[in-house]
A and B are shown apart, each in its own frame.
Chain A
Amino acid sequence: MTEMSVDQTAVERPPALPRRWTASRIWGSAAVAVWVLIGAGFVWYLASSWSLDFVEKYGPRYWSGLKVTVSLVLSSLAAGAVLSIPIALGRLSKNRYVGALAHAYIYTFRGTPLLAQVFLIYYGLGQFSNELRSIGLWGFFRDAWNCGFLAFTLNTAAYQAEILAGAIKSVPKGQWEGASALGLPRLFTFRKIIMPQALIVALRPYGNEIILMIKGSAIVAIITVYDLMGQARWVFSKTFDFQAYLWAAVFYLIVVEILRNVWAWIEARLTRHLIR
């Protein structure tokens, strides 16, 4: 290195070759140009239809919609996480019947559209309001938010159980054997040795699940809940102005992107000991 730098003044370097216009560069530039055009058109459209009136009149609605979306997603994710633990354990159980039951649960909720589940709970159970009233559960099902919450919880519990079960299975058997050789109780082993390793494996799928839930939550708009999508529909129905949807799209993208970056940061932080 040192010799090189000594000679550097003397050696005239040939100029770098101009980057050639290869086929892929042409395609790439064209594709980027298309995106730039779409982006510009989008900004132009929003800017040209920008009016303080719109913001003043409907801004608070979007804000409250965003809060409903976030609170609905967070609470059903939390409830789903709790519910997913017994299901995941059932999935891993050596008992055939328990295993089959847990599998059936997961399969059912992962195999059918969330929208169908929401309809079944909201309108389907609504048909039995008298029966539900007589056992005192109607107060819960009467509210559309609760129905959405229940459907999302049951749905995400199935996904989270599958993630959790997969992650626990991914921890090598030797970890269990090592712990039992040390005489550690099974529950302790599970909590202190298996779970920390499993959760790191599960980190990425969990992040995906949160994003899927945020996006999936848009469908509660159909059962009278005013989440972000619901508010966008409301504003659209008042104004018939397409920017009503575009703004909501922008907000969804922002939320998802923030979440993705935060999650990537958390993941990097928690797995830094694994980097070689």
Chain B
Amino acid sequence: MENFLGLLSFGAEGWGDEIASGVVVTVSLALATLPFGLILGFFVALAKQSEEPSLRLAGNIYTTIFRGLPELMTLFLIYFGAQIGLRQFLIFIGIETAIEINSFLAGMLALGVVFSSYASEVFLSAFRAIPRGQYEGGYAVGLTYGLTMRKVVMPQLIRLALPGLSNLWLVLLKDTALVSTIALSDILRQTGIAARVTKQAFFFYGTAFILYLLLAILSGMVISRIERFGQKSEPAR
């Protein structure tokens, strides 16, 4: 037991500090991806419920691709493919510079597009749950499209989409584990290195397992607080 505590200690001997930094990477990656994915997802949802067929088509292609590809594949395609593509493009237009898509950015982009393609579905069903009368009411009292959207539709939309989105957050948190394969030092990679070096595979992978579980429990607590807050503004029935 003392032995295991020693393995988790901070400092040069133990792996505690490495694993802690892995937790920071995992959490910050998920947090950085969230707003990016939400905004992108919202716009894709707008496109998919638009009356303009070309916008709908573009939105549908987007979700078909990113919901159909394995997340690991999306990650590889962006990490290697986008980098090579960008380099070729820059050389083509004559800029000789090393713009780098590092693994954090690649992870954020990949997880963000996957998140947004699912989030767009959540937003879409939330949009559909808002009756037309709400828009018409907004226009009737003289609000512009933007104002109706912001002041009438959005508040309801967020509340309707919240359960679906919180589910996606948990999925996102787990999907971050995939970035360990593109050399980003997240929880799983750091525990994996520790496991291989110390040969205590069960202990360290078990640690990773528990850390993810703790993050999920923590998120669950935060989400239920947000949900309670959201319910407060619900009209009394």
Task: List A residues at the B interface (Cβ < 8 Å).
Answer: 22, 24-25, 27-29, 31-32, 34-35, 107-108, 110-117, 119-120, 123-128, 211, 214-219, 221-222, 229, 242, 245-246, 248-249, 252-253, 256-257, 260
What residue of chain A has the Cβ atom nearest to residue B84's Cβ? A242
A115-B188, A242-B80 known; A253 vs B205 contact (CB < 8 Å)? no
In the assembly, what is the distance between CA of A229 and CA of B201, in Å? 24
Question: Counting chain A CB atoms within 10 Å of each CB, which of B50, B52, B181, B200 scores highest?
Answer: B52
Report whether over half of chain A's contact residues are helix, strand or loop; otherwise say mixed.
helix
Q: Which stretch from B1-9, B67-75, B146-154 is at the chain A interface?
A: B67-75
Is B95 on the interface with A (CB-CB < 8 A)? no
The count of chain B contact residues (Cβ–Cβ below 8 Å) is: 50
Task: List B residues at the A interface (Cβ < 8 Å).
Answer: 47, 50-59, 61-62, 64-65, 67-73, 76-77, 80-81, 84, 170, 174-178, 180-181, 188, 192, 195, 199-202, 205-206, 208-209, 212-213, 216-217
| B-chain residues with CB within 8 Å of residue A28 when the two chains form the complex | 47, 50, 52-58
Check A119–B55 contact: CB distance below 8 A.
no
| B-chain residues with CB within 8 Å of residue A116 when the two chains form the complex | 177, 188, 205, 208-209, 212
Check B58–A123 contact: CB distance below 8 A.
no
Select which of A29, A111, A229 is within 8 A of B72 by beta carbon: A229
What residue of chain A has the Cβ atom nearest to residue B181's Cβ? A222
A115-B177, A124-B201 known; A229 vs B217 contact (CB < 8 Å)? no
What residue of chain B has the Cβ atom nearest to residue A259's Cβ? B68
Check A120–B209 contact: CB distance below 8 A.
yes
Select which of B58, B73, B84, B208 is within 8 A of A248 by beta carbon: B73
| A-chain residues with CB within 8 Å of residue B71 when the two chains form the complex | 215, 218
In the assembly, what is the distance between CA of A245 and CA of B69, in Å? 11
Check A218–B72 contact: CB distance below 8 A.
yes
| A-chain residues with CB within 8 Å of residue B61 when the two chains form the complex | 35
In the assembly, what is the distance between CA of A108 and CA of B201, in Å? 19
